[in-house]
Structure 1
């Protein structure tokens, strides 16, 4: 009889179970995780029971508080190759209206993310900050980027490159989809060699 590995079992876990498992592995209460992440305890409780699907920004906050990469929570598809084919886009499954396509290969310890984003009209990315560097290049549409005290209107061909420790955000200010190329380091989507970030064997 074939026994599923820990990594295989974790791949099959719903997102809520993964959040709960990691929280318990760290010995955190809901209130403690809420304090660390800046999210409310009731919201985290709903997320753990899969009654609410966290946005990408909320998942980033949880990942930082739980000291895991974003890929621990998300279904980041396996590429199995260093070549990315336009005919086979690798969509990153995340809640919200933004379509994310992973352009980077699945190196076990990759240092950066390369993501193509299609952002609907009027959508705004909440202000965030983290250790690292971010680069944003506008392919189509118009966006307003904010980094620290600097605000810039960006059109096709314009870009931003900045220290991600500065509070930053962006909004699609056009009446059509904006297509953006994002490059950031360190990676928040990278996988461990087995495809899943190890969070220990804590029960859900």
Structure 2
């Protein structure tokens, strides 16, 4: 017997069901956000909109598709246009796909000789308060050792190839493929000893916008 449910992998209508569920969740989140902004409880909003507590709870949790009449009642109770409930669903979501070997080669501020940075993704969304920069970093026999990088935010390293002794503040970590390091990037850090070449690791840097 094939698996049941609107998210069944073999269901030809699965995509439609998934889109409906996404819309339900988007509406629910927007209703909750509007309610929270007003500082009222679920019970307060339910009473103002003429809905049962259980019905409003299901709407906010994206469990049901509210009717147009219900959305009109909620819009009046919240003092917002009915179209505002669809804002999150209609927002364009950015995605960046980078084929192997096609990352953008760049020089970051403070880049040392022989440190090859390939940016694997970037979002131009200026409304986000957080910037995330994923890099593929390659070190060769021509690369400088430099354990004194410092910049705002936090950084995550994941070793892909080779071996290196990586320093963070006053501690050193012998890293080989599969090892990772997560740290405050404001402290001095960087490769201190190149052990086995070639060295490649993934570096994900995150910081608040304007904190570069």
TM-score, normalised to structure 1, is 0.47
TM-score, normalised to structure 2, is 0.45
The structure where helix makes up a greater share of residues is 2
Pair member with larger Rg: 2
